[in-house]
């Protein structure tokens, strides 16, 4: 079944904990980093030397690259270019994909070794500094988790506003937004695969010993976060498009509420005592409140198109709720940014929130004033109407575990 070693965090721990992670658009839970393994000692003479050498080399490369990439991702900077024209995160993602092919051979063709190698990773959101398990499926799960977080890091690097030196304000191109949507769906696909194909392979007793970073609720929360941020980008592009109707914008905003609500439900029950975990919860709360502000705003505008007093009163109530959620989201944003590791609020609003931050206070105040004049009532604010319930359109990429490397068959 495999054994487990979990080491508590201490003052001289090896986890990299920056005091500040700078400006960000996408919250990236701290990277888990693998520790070196002596595959020769763990496998003995059960594997041919060339296979042992290959999996050892791949694993060692990932250990080094992950340790280098972690502080880069935490600082939310532009991706570091490599001499081949790609980026360090691209190279690490490619290395992980290659390692996964060889690793899966231990599951399919090296079943007798499935519980022989003790895989150890440094945690970020769990109280325990590191967790080791002699179970290949734990390693597969850890690899997929890291692949997903690398995607979030790539999306963040595309979405943090950058100055182009032309005298204009920093901006996010439509190409960057579209590419980021694809990356978010890819990240969600890795995590969806982890939940569907990998977690069921780990026994219940061992699943209870997984670090909170890899708990099913956390994997689902990150997957839903990726989908929620993808819909937010779609909403921003719809707002910028003269062809997008109010109905389209309302539908996107209401779908976004459901993604963030589900993410919040999943992460709320986790024992996230560490600062990274608390910051993760605050990020999801912040984005959930923003999505509610957007949904009630567009719902209010559509209700206001009605011709009855009832529809106008409901519109005023929806716009008032939108303003309240916007106000609460700003408080949640401040709490998120001030929680260690601290982060900075972008001085430049863009996308859906740039538009909504300007329009919501203005339209909510105007609508209440107009209704008072029309209906001569001291107060026209009722309970906020129920938001429409739309089926979720965005789905994770359909990522499946690949077949084991052919070198296993040859051996």
- Look at residue 267 in the predicted model and tell me its pLDDT: 95
Domain 23-71+86-160+172-214 has CATH 3.40.50.300: no
Cβ neighbors of 208 (< 8 A, separation 6 or more) are: none
- Look at residue 254 in the predicted model and tell me its pLDDT: 98
CA distance 46 to 41: 10
CA distance 138 to 210: 8
Cβ neighbors of 122 (< 8 A, separation 6 or more) are: 14, 15, 32, 33, 34, 35, 129, 130
Other Cβ atoms within 10 Å of 388 Cβ, number: 12
CA distance 29 to 220: 13
**Rg (the chain; Cα; Å):** 24
Q: What b/e string do you get for 80-100 counting C-beta neighbours within 10 Å, with b at 16 or more?
A: eeeeeeebbbbbbbebbeebb
- Look at residue 107 in the predicted model and tell me its pLDDT: 81
Cβ neighbors of 356 (< 8 A, separation 6 or more) are: 290, 293, 294, 297, 326
Q: For 75, what's the count of Cα atoms within 13 Å in the CB-facing half-sphere?
A: 10
Superfamily of domain 243-391: alix/aip1 like domains (1.25.40.280)
Question: Which parts of 60-138 are beta strand (E)?
Answer: 119-122, 128-133
CA distance 271 to 362: 40
3-state secondary structure of 8: strand
Query: How would you classify the pairing of strands 20-23 and 342-344?
Result: parallel
34's tokens: 């693998």
Cβ neighbors of 61 (< 8 A, separation 6 or more) are: 95
Domain boundaries, the chain: 23-71+86-160+172-214, 243-391
Tens-of-pLDDT digits for all 411 residues of the chain? Answer: 444 444 444 333 355 566 777 778 899 987 899 999 888 777 766 677 888 888 899 999 999 999 888 765 555 444 444 444 446 889 999 999 999 998 998 887 556 667 888 999 998 877 788 899 999 999 999 999 999 999 999 999 999 887 655 556 667 889 999 999 999 999 999 999 999 999 999 999 999 999 999 999 999 999 999 999 999 999 999 999 999 999 999 999 999 999 999 999 999 988 877 778 889 999 999 999 999 999 999 999 999 888 888 888 888 899 999 999 999 999 999 999 998 888 876 656 677 888 999 999 998 888 767 766 565 555 455 688 999 999 999 999 999 999 887 777 665
CA distance 66 to 68: 5
Instruction: Assess contact for 361 and 270: CB atoms under 8 A.
Output: no
Q: What b/e string do you get for 196-221 counting C-beta neighbours within 10 Å, with b at 16 or more?
A: ebbbebbeeebbebbbbbbbebbbbb
- Look at residue 377 in the predicted model and tell me its pLDDT: 56
Cβ neighbors of 333 (< 8 A, separation 6 or more) are: 286, 345
DSSP letter at 197? Answer: I
pTM as predicted: 0.89
Quickly list DSSP for 322-383. HHHHHHHHHHHHHHHHHSSSEEE--SS--HHHHHHHHHHHHHHHHHHHHHHHHH--S----P
163's tokens: 């100055």
CA distance 384 to 323: 11
**Distance between first and last Cα of the chain:** 26
Partners of 342 in beta bridges: 20
- Look at residue 79 in the predicted model and tell me its pLDDT: 47
3-state secondary structure of 12: coil
CA distance 407 to 411: 6
């Amino acid at each position: 079944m495999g054994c487990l070693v979990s080491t508590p965090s201490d003052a001289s721990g090896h986890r990299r904990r920056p005091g500040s992670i700078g400006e960000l658009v996408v919250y990236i839970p701290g990277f888990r980093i693998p520790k070196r393994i002596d595959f020769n000692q763990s496998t003995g003479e059960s594997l041919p030397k060339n296979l042992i050498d290959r999996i050892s080399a791949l694993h060692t490369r990932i250990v080094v690259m992950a340790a280098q990439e972690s502080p880069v991702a935490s600082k939310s900077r532009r991706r570091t270019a490599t001499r081949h024209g790609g980026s360090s995160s691209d190279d690490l993602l490619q290395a992980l994909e290659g390692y996964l092919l060889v690793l899966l051979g231990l599951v399919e063709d090296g079943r007798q070794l499935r519980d022989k190698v003790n895989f150890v990773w440094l945690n970020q959101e769990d109280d325990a500094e590191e967790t080791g398990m002699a179970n290949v499926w734990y390693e597969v799960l850890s690899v997929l988790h890291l692949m997903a977080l690398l995607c979030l890091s790539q999306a963040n690097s595309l979405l943090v506003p950058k100055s182009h030196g032309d005298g204009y304000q920093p901006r996010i191109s439509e190409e960057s937004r579209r590419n980021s949507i694809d990356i978010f769906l890819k990240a969600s696909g890795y995590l969806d695969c982890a939940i569907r194909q990998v977690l069921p392979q780990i026994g219940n007793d061992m699943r209870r010993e997984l670090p909170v970073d890899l708990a099913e609720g956390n994997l689902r929360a990150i997957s839903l976060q990726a989908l929620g941020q993808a819909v937010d980008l779609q909403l921003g592009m719809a707002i910028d498009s003269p062809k997008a109707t109010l109905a389209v914008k309302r539908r996107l905003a209401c779908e976004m509420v459901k993604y963030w609500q589900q993410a919040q439900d999943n992460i709320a029950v986790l024992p996230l005592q560490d600062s990274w975990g608390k910051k993760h919860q605050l990020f999801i709360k912040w984005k959930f409140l923003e999505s509610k502000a957007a949904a009630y705003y567009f719902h209010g505008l559509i209700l206001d198109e009605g011709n009855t007093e009832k529809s106008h009163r409901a519109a005023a109530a929806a716009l008032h709720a939108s303003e309240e959620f916007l106000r609460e989201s700003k408080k949640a944003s401040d709490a998120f940014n001030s929680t260690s590791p601290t982060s900075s609020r972008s001085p430049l609003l863009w996308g859906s929130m740039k538009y909504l931050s300007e329009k919501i206070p203005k339209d909510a105040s105007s609508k209440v004033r107009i209704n008072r004049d029309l209906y001569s009532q001291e107060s026209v604010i009722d309970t906020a109407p129920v938001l429409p319930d739309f089926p979720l359109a965005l789905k994770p990429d359909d990522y499946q575990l690949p077949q084991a490397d052919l070198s296993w068959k040859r051996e």
